[in-house]
Amino acid sequence: MTKIKNLIRKEEKRQKETLMLIPSENYAPKEVRQALCSMLNNKYSEGYPGKRYYQGNKYIDQIESIAIETAKKLFCVPYANVQSYSGSPANSAVYMALLNPGDKILGLALSSGGHLTHGHPKITFSGKFFQSFQYEVGADGFIDYEALEKLAKKVKPKIIIAGTTSYPRKLEWTLFSQVADKVGAILLADISHIAGLVAAGVHPSPVRDADVVTTTTHKTLRGPRGALIMVTKKGLRRDPDMAKKIDRAVFPGLQGGPHNAQTAAIAIALKAAQSESFKKYVKQIIINSKTLAKELKSKGFDLVSGGTDNHIILIDLRQKGVLGKEFSIKLEKAGIIVNYNSIPGDPNPPNNPSGIRLGTPAVTTRGMGVKEMMLIADFINRVYLGDSVDKINKEVKSLCRKFPTL
């Protein structure tokens, strides 16, 4: 056990001393982490508030009800389920609730910025159990809504998934819903990456256009690992039983007992996301992201779609003559943590792609601003140019010391 304790301490030190630029990562506040390691972990509570299969749930019921109500208020939806263990089980629960095996699903291709759970063929649950079709971004790096419409009309999917994991641009919910309505498809908006932006009003909300909205709670929302599944008014108009079907798909369909410590931590994070300071935080994420993008561009880095509207920057490294994996390994040596990522139309495989993905949520949580983004762009460029990674790492550590983690 001492070994694990030591490794936890080492990991904490690593997070404090490095620049966390992976856009899906963040520093959850202490209150969230405290809830996660509370005695709520000890309790079984299969079922839902007021309808449990175990005794002793009077406080758990209240905690889950608060999490549900806070989610409903934050995202302006009539229904929320807070029990999914994470983003992938949440999307699977939506499919289980609303589709039959073999139904047609249409999602954004992984190489265009979609997620594995959006129907990535062959190797995933969504790609194996359904007939999966994929739309893509155009040559400009933006989603090609005309091509999406053409494909949707040809395929006639039962569900269209609008959601992204490495797409630096705004999602046009109305265009998605127009396509879905034309072909009679359910529209699932997976806002896992942009949930914090949506909550803060910095990215348009899909709530008027989509039937169902899923999100993870640990990215820009800055909560515990977990997920929400929400049904909109539109979804309930389409199928008044939609919410009931989702509840049943989560439990008993896919999961057993909910992770109550996680539920409490979700409630805490969602409450925090209602505050003015959270709105300010999210606005700064975008300012930082745009600044970092501009600085990188000025240093000759080629950005997919030419820039960013959100917290994500996707660099196409082909002109630089280096692959994403090799570059991200060098960056790690300097204390800059990014992930290698496919770019649209990538000639290289996903395990050795041509791009890297960066994001500003975590460094913004530390309080970094425009000046620090300029420094970070400079660090990245110096790593590329072959400056000593040990020397850069010392400067990175010194910068990190000035901006403590939560």
Ligand X SMILES: Cc1ncc(COP(=O)(O)O)c(C=O)c1O
Q: Which residues are catalytic, by number?
A: 44, 46, 190, 216, 219, 225
Pick the closer one to ligand X by CB: 57 or 83: 83
Which member of 111, 117, 308, 339 binds ligand X (CB under 6 A)?
117
Which member of 18, 205, 216, 262 binds ligand X (CB under 6 A)?
216
Pick the closer one to ligand X by CB: 163 or 344: 163
Which member of 24, 81, 220, 339 binds ligand X (CB under 6 A)?
24
Which member of 52, 104, 115, 203 binds ligand X (CB under 6 A)?
115
Backbone phi, then psi, for 385, in 5-degree steps? -75, -10
Question: Minimum distance between the CB of residue 398 and ligand X, rounded to whole angstroms?
Answer: 31
Joined tokens for residue 112: 């265009």
Question: Minimum distance between the CB of residue 333 and ligand X, rounded to whole angstroms?
Answer: 25
Question: Minimum distance between the CB of residue 161 and ligand X, rounded to whole angstroms?
Answer: 9
Pick the closer one to ligand X by CB: 47 or 89: 89
Pick the closer one to ligand X by CB: 357 or 366: 357
Instruction: List binders of ligand X among 76-105 (CB under 6 A).
Output: 86-88, 91
- Site for ligand X (CB under 6 A): how many residues? 14
Pick the closer one to ligand X by CB: 94 or 155: 94
Q: Report residue 257 CA to chain centroid gap.
A: 24
Instruction: List binders of ligand X among 142-201 (CB under 6 A).
Output: 163-165, 190, 192-193
Pick the closer one to ligand X by CB: 193 or 259: 193
Question: Minimum distance between the CB of residue 262 and ligand X, rounded to whole angstroms?
Answer: 11
User: How far apart, in whole angstroms, are the C-alpha atoms of residue 315 and residue 228?
Assistant: 30
Backbone phi, then psi, for 391, in 5-degree steps? -65, -45
Pick the closer one to ligand X by CB: 120 or 158: 120
Going by their DSSP bridges, the two strands 339-341 and 355-359 should be labelled as antiparallel
Instruction: State yes or no: residue 220 binds ligand X (CB under 6 A).
Output: no
Question: Minimum distance between the CB of residue 216 and ligand X, rounded to whole angstroms?
Answer: 5
Question: Minimum distance between the CB of residue 24 and ligand X, rounded to whole angstroms?
Answer: 5
Q: Bridge-partner residues for 100, per DSSP?
A: none
Question: Minimum distance between the CB of residue 223 and ligand X, rounded to whole angstroms?
Answer: 11
Q: Given the rule CB under 6 A, which residues bind ligand X?
A: 24, 86-88, 91, 115, 117, 163-165, 190, 192-193, 216
